[in-house]
Amino acid sequence: MLSTLDRNLERWALLIFYMMLVVTMAIEVIRREVFAYSSVWGEEIVRYAFIYLAWIGAAAAVRERAHIRIDVIMHYVGPRLKAALYILGDLVMAAVAVVALYWSWETVLVSAKFGSVSAGLRVSMVWFLLAVPVGFGLMLLRLVQSFLRDVRALRDGTPVHEGNQLFD
């Protein structure tokens, strides 16, 4: 069960937020065009679902090594150096993620302390601001997994996981 969750956690979360975004947007378009009426809450749901999509999608991209990168040098180095370079990249990205997680969590705590609510939904902003720390937390989890996978490849001299390539 844990391996299924590990493989599909982001995929299911992305599906839920994407469906929420599409259904709400479709309802709002119909309401606006047919009934000449729109709501504030629909716009907010779409906006915050998109924010969750972006941050969870970033974590999924880390898992699959799907972020945009310049990898010309990777074609000319051996498997051990390639693994070492990926490990260096994972460590730098993890440092950035830790700093971002700290500061985004600080924002969530400030919002909780002062009880801010969204304008249309009248829901605590904590739920929406949590998108950033959740995304960076998932990203850190995926970076640790990637780091361990790369260390194993470095130790064994096996090819490192490079993800799917968009172009050959």
Identify whether 113 is part of a domain.
Answer: yes
For residue 39, what are the domain limits? 2-156
8 A C-beta contact, residue 13 and residue 56: yes
Look at the chain and report how many structural domains it folds into.
Answer: 1
Identify whether 102 is part of a domain.
Answer: yes
Number of C-beta neighbours around residue 37 at 10 A: 8
Give this prediction's pTM: 0.85
Identify whether 164 is part of a domain.
Answer: no
List the pLDDT tens digit at each of the 168 positions of the chain: 678 878 888 899 999 999 999 999 999 999 999 998 888 888 899 999 999 999 999 999 998 888 877 778 888 988 888 889 999 999 999 999 999 999 999 999 999 999 999 988 899 999 999 999 999 999 999 999 999 999 998 898 888 888 765 555
8 A C-beta contact, residue 44 and residue 118: yes
Identify whether 110 is part of a domain.
Answer: yes
Identify whether 167 is part of a domain.
Answer: no
Identify whether 166 is part of a domain.
Answer: no
